[in-house]
Each structure stands twice: as C-alpha cells, then as structure tokens.
Structure 1
Amino acid sequence: WAGGAQAGGEPSDNCFVGDLPGEITQEQFQSIFSAYGTVTSCRVMAPKMPGGKASALCRFSSVEEAKWIVENLNGNLAEGLPDPIACRFANAPGGKDGAGGGGGGKGGPYGGKGAPMGGGMMGKGGGMMMGKGGGKAGAPGSFFNLYGAIKKAGLLGGGKVPEECQCYIKNLPADTTDVDLYKLFAPFGAIAPTGVKAMMNDDGSCKGFGFVDFVDPTAAALAVAALGSFVMPDGTMIGVSTKLPSKKGKGKG
C-alpha cells in the first residue's frame, strides 16, 4: 500500500488502518489517533489468526484530516506504536474493509468496546494474558502499556533537560513530522523520552521549526556541527542550534 490520497476507497472522512499490534484496544487506538485529528468514531478489529495484526476503521471530523492520515502515516510510525502502519481510505459500505475483519463485528473478540473478552490481552502465540486476579502474569500485553508503565515509574529519566542538550531546528519543510525528525537526529546520539517535537499547524503541516532533546550534550553538538552547515543542492538549508547554559550570578566587570 503505497502512500497517497487515492489509496483504498474514494476520499472520505473514514480511514482503514492496518498492521496494528494484535493486542491494541479501542481506547488505546483512539488515544493515539486523537493526536492527529478529531476522531468521531472508531472500531478496532482483532487479528484473523493468533499472533496476527489488528486493524481498525476510524472516522475523522473532516475529509482533510483523513487525507492527512493517509498521506502521512501510511507506511510510517504513529507515535505510541512500535511498528509502521498501513493507512488508506475505507471502502464504501459493503466493501471488503471489516468483512470478516478479524472478528471485529458483533460477537467478535473485541466486542463493542474494542477490549478482548474476559479482560485479557493477546500475547505472542495467541495466548491470553490475564489481568488482575488472573494468575501469574507472563509477558506484558502490549508495548504501548509497557512503555507507559516504565515511563510513569521514572525509569526513563525525566525532569528538565539541560539547555546544552536542547536543539532548535528551523527552516523545516512543511511535510516534516516527529518521526522524520527522529530519523534525522537519532544517528547522532540518544534522544530523551518524548524529546522530539515538530511544531504543527491546525491543517497538519509543519510550522517550519521543531525541537530535539538529546541525553548527552556531545550528541547535540555533533548534530549542530553536521546538520547546521549542510547545504542542499538547490542552496537551501535548515538551521540547527543549541541553547547555551545560562550565565547566572556574573556581574559587570
């Protein structure tokens, strides 16, 4: 499924999203995609077979929002998901989307609320991961929950990032996303959790600037040295700089 506004059915406010984690719940799906637009309704469909990928139908508040999803997330990572996803416009009623859809209709494993029956979650190999009171737990049910729990426990660090680790990037193209910035800056060193942000307009286009927070100031300095002086063949370039540590307590003279 190559990206493009015409992928799948006719352009509409309804998207089909595939290659989702098999254990994703409707609440998790809505939380992730609400960051990209106004979700008016969604339905998660369980995998067709144990260990497979889930899919979903998601309706946005406008065709423009759905079009942005198809053009920008198809084949890319959505923030909060571990693998690239497939996005296209949903087929018209009676089409293939959701037909059999892994049992996502009435009586399917996800039922009306998108949660597996019995409160469990699908693990690798199709086994059910029991929740509280369900016996000894095995592997976490989803990476989404695992990351959230570890971050909440403070194991990924946190707090204020030193100014010399903070990069400011300007002159970014209008189609730049958080994932694009991560791909561009990650080779220079470890990036702090939630340390990448491309600033976006209401229409989903980039405002032209963004921020990347590194763990190590050396990595930030390397990124500035390499990317801040890189010139495109057409003469254009982005601007990359770091904040200098504040000089406090130094008076005149």
Structure 2
Amino acid sequence: MILDFLAERKSISHTDCAVQMYFSILLSDIQSLLLAVMAYDCYVAICNPLLYMVTMSKQRCRQLVAGACVVGLVDAMIQTCLTFQLSFCRSNVINHYFCDVPQLMALSCSDYSLIEIALFALACFITISSFMTILLSYVCIFSTILQIHSAEGRHKPFSTCACHLTAVVISYGTALFIYLRPISPYSTEIDKIASVFYMLVIPMLNPLIYSLRNREVKVALRKTRNKLLTTVRSVGQWKWENSIPSPWQ
C-alpha cells in the first residue's frame, strides 16, 4: 500500500491481483466466521455457565477456529479461481482501491452469469450463516439477561458481550450500508469509501474495542480522561480570571 501511494504509475500484475483478491476474501470470511464463533462463546458463557468449561474446551475452540480458517481458505480459492477464469479484453483500469470481484467482472468480456450466481451463493452462505448464528445467540443471551432481576446481575453479562457486540454492529453495519442502500450514480465512489472503512478502519479498531475489557486499559483511559478534564478546567479558569478587569485599571 505504501509503495502504491509513492509510485507515480499505480499498476498491479495479473498474479499480484489474484493474490490480493485471495487474501482479501480469505480474511473477510475468517472475520465473519470468527464473529459467529465468538457469539456462540458468549451464548454458552451466559446461558449455560455451568457447562462452559466442558462445551468450550480448548480442543473445541481450536476446532472452531480451524473450521473458520478452512472455510475461508476454500471459499477464497473458489472465488479467485472462478473470477480469473474469465477473459479480460476491455479496459485494464480497475475502478477501485484493490482487486475485488465486482470490479474485475465489470472488465470481463465473457459471459459470467453462472459464475456470478455461484459467487453470490458462496458469499450469501458464509455471510447469512454467520449473521444468523450471531442473531440467534444474542436473542438467547438477551432473553436470559432479562430474566435476571438485579441490576448488578444484568451488568456482568452485558459487560461480557459488549465488546463483541460493538464489533458486530460496526462490521455488519458497514456491510448493510454497502449492499442495502439504493443504487445511485455515485455508488462507485461510495463503495470505495465504504471498502476502505471495512478493510482498514474496522480491523484497526478491533484491538482497541476488545482491549476495553482489560482492567489496565480501563485505568489508563480513566487517567487520560482525568488529565484532559483537569487541563480543560485549568485553561478555562485561567481565561476567566484574565478576563476580569483589575480594579486598578
């Protein structure tokens, strides 16, 4: 990315484009599937806490993570191979920041209707299955939390899944904005902005979101907030004192 920013001629080879597409699809799939796995983990921790160590053992966690990686590897390989089976005889200018399936299909001069259906079915299978797992998990979680009468008892389950729920809302909120908004003449430019947010900003925010449960991070954030408030108050007090005219003037 830094090389592309600095280069005067922004070009990419055929092989590099395929590799870039493969890894972007792979990491997107793994992210969606891991969000579903984490939702199931929250469900077990809140709805079946006594069986948590048995249900979510280390071996089960390894199996779930490995399954997410295998599904992502297979899906990325299928989508990349199907896309690069097309013949490209139109413009070689990709109207995007990186090699993505819709932008490359727009440059193809062959019939890609069947390939488009297959790619759409694969994407829907992974996205919808992940989203439904998250949705059903949180329906069970919220129904369990609402049965708790004490406020303190409700606070702990909410704090357990708050970070994950924040990541889910940001991730799927961006995806829904991309795919459910009405088509307009500026859709390509909006897709570029949304793709940068989805591919770069959200992964950069994830470490911060998940570290908010860390006690040391919370203490550091409180100290930073208190310092900022003290600085603002001292500056405001200094301005207020200097704005009062002296009786000797």
When normalised by structure 1's length, the TM-score is 0.27
Bigger fraction of residues in strand: 1
More helix by share: 2
Which of structures 1 and 2 has the larger relative contact order (alpha carbons within 8 angstroms, sep 6+)? 2
* TM-score, normalised via structure 2 length: 0.27
